[in-house]
Structure 1
Amino acid sequence: MDCFHLTGIRCYGYTGYLPEEQVLGQWFEVNLTLWLDLSVAGKSDAIEDTLDYRSVINDVQHLVKTSKYALIERLVDAIATSILESDRVKQVQVRLTKIAAPIPDFGGKITVEITRSK
């Protein structure tokens, strides 16, 4: 199976357990791996024979910017579900990172990764 890797999708969003996370927001980074058949597009060189990854990026940015979930696990699942609505994508891996989680004396990142298939 072929795949696209879409990395470094940075968005400001309002998902988080703490009330201030849903009001003040924070930066997130999303990395995706999308499994699909690229053989037809590889021969035709036509965009209609592949997945327009610009729309995937726009959809992810919209979800992160407009969602107000308590858990990043819910946001990651929503992203995966949205991507799998495409007829072309057979499987998706979503890695979502809270770049600066509001945890005292913690300068690291929090990442959730899921893989979903049709």
Structure 2
Amino acid sequence: MNENKIYLEGLSFFAFHGLFDEEAKLGQRFIVDLTCWADFEQATHSDKYEDTICYGTLAKTVETVVTKSRFNLLERLAGAICEAVFQMDPRISKITVKVNKPSAPVPVHVGGFAVEITRNRPATSS
């Protein structure tokens, strides 16, 4: 099986994640980078849409998790994104997701705080 990658970089969403009440009320920007490993070798030969994974559907899946849920931790948000993407397309075998919170409420100037996780598709029980 060939393992190819699809990258979605710099997906930006306004959402309400964080530990503090102000974050739940005011919200802030979150930036997500997503890498999906999948066998779409057929698409490199066929040039057919059905032989690859829809980038737009991937982006909408991430958007739904980020904007329609609320989590205290970036770690949980990243995990929820992985779970949703695995559900979206069974051809995806591995995911790396990075979630950046560029406006974290901390008393020091920073370009953002981020977490990155990598998950393999969970094994299915027979």
Q: TM-score, normalised by structure 1?
A: 0.95
Identity of aligned residues (%): 36
Q: Is the 8 A contact 1:84 1:117 kept in 2?
A: no
Q: Hey, which bits of structure 1, 4+ residues long, moved more than 3 A?
A: none
- Provide the residue aligned with 1:68 in structure 2: 70
- Provide the residue aligned with 2:124 in structure 1: none
Q: Is the 8 A contact 2:65 2:84 kept in 1?
A: no
Residue 94 (1) aligns with residue 65 (2): no
Q: SS state of the match for residue 93, structure 1? A: strand
Q: SS state of the match for residue 90, structure 1? A: strand
The whole-number CA distance in structure 2 between the counterparts of 1:99 and 1:105 is 12
- Provide the residue aligned with 2:116 in structure 1: 113
RMSD: 0.9
Q: CA deviation at 1:19?
A: 1.1
Q: TM-score, normalised by structure 2?
A: 0.89
Give unmatched runs, 5+ long, in structure 1. Answer: none
Q: Is the 8 A contact 1:92 1:117 kept in 2?
A: yes
Q: Which among 6, 9, 28 is matched to residue 8 of structure 2?
A: 6
- Provide the residue aligned with 2:106 in structure 1: 103
